[in-house]
Amino acid sequence: MKFHALAALAAVSLCGCGTITQGTSQNITITSNPSGGHCDLTRMGEHVATLDRTPGTVKVDKTKNDILMTCSLAGYQDASANLESGYGAGTFGNIILGGVIGWGIDSATGADNKYPTTANVQFVPVAAPAPAPAAAAPPAS
């Protein structure tokens, strides 16, 4: 009987383990080549974060949904990247130790998800306009 009570107490204390150990938000460091880009991050059409000038770091809340990062820099084409939401390191351990309740808590808070810790965009220069065609020489007489 004491063993069952101890096991139940241990299971309850481990619930939401990822929420405690990994948190519900994370930093993403953004770089670009060349530097100086402005980046907006959206998730499911809603604004998540803005980085005024690369390189820099933004803090985002973790969820199961991917983030679309769109960056701009004068003289260059806009660049974008999809930041995929994956499972955090402790997710499977929490399912084993904390059971469905622990996983449910972490899933609801986003603690069982993780985005890449870094993101880089490569800007492509805007093509210069093609030179005007040279005027044809007048026909020889």
Give the range among 40-44, 107-111, 115-119 with minimum mean pLDDT: 107-111
Ordered structural domains, the chain, with CATH: 2-122 (2.60.40)
Number of residues in the chain: 141
Mean pLDDT of 95-100: 49
37 in Cβ contact with 124 (< 8 Å): no
Q: Give the residue from 24, 19, 118 showing the smallest Cα distance to 63.
A: 24
Mean pLDDT of 66-86: 96
> According to the model, what pLDDT value does residue 78 have?
97
> According to the model, what pLDDT value does residue 88 have?
53
pLDDT higher at 131 or 17: 131
pLDDT higher at 72 or 127: 72
Cα 5 to chain centroid distance, Å, stands at 41
> According to the model, what pLDDT value does residue 128 have?
58
Q: Residues 27-63: pLDDT tens digits?
A: 999 999 999 999 999 999 999 999 999 999 999 999 9
Residue 72, pLDDT above cutoff 90? yes
Residue 74, pLDDT above cutoff 90? yes
Q: Is 23 exposed, middle or buried (0-12, 13-18, 19+ CB in 10 A)?
A: middle
Contacts 24+ apart (CB under 8 A), 21-24: 21/90, 22/88, 22/89, 22/90, 22/111, 22/112, 22/114, 23/62, 23/111, 24/61, 24/62, 24/109, 24/110, 24/111
Mean pLDDT of 96-101: 49
**Mean pLDDT score of the chain, rounded to an integer?**
76
The residues near 140 (Cβ < 8 Å, ≥ 6 apart) are none
41 in Cβ contact with 33 (< 8 Å): no
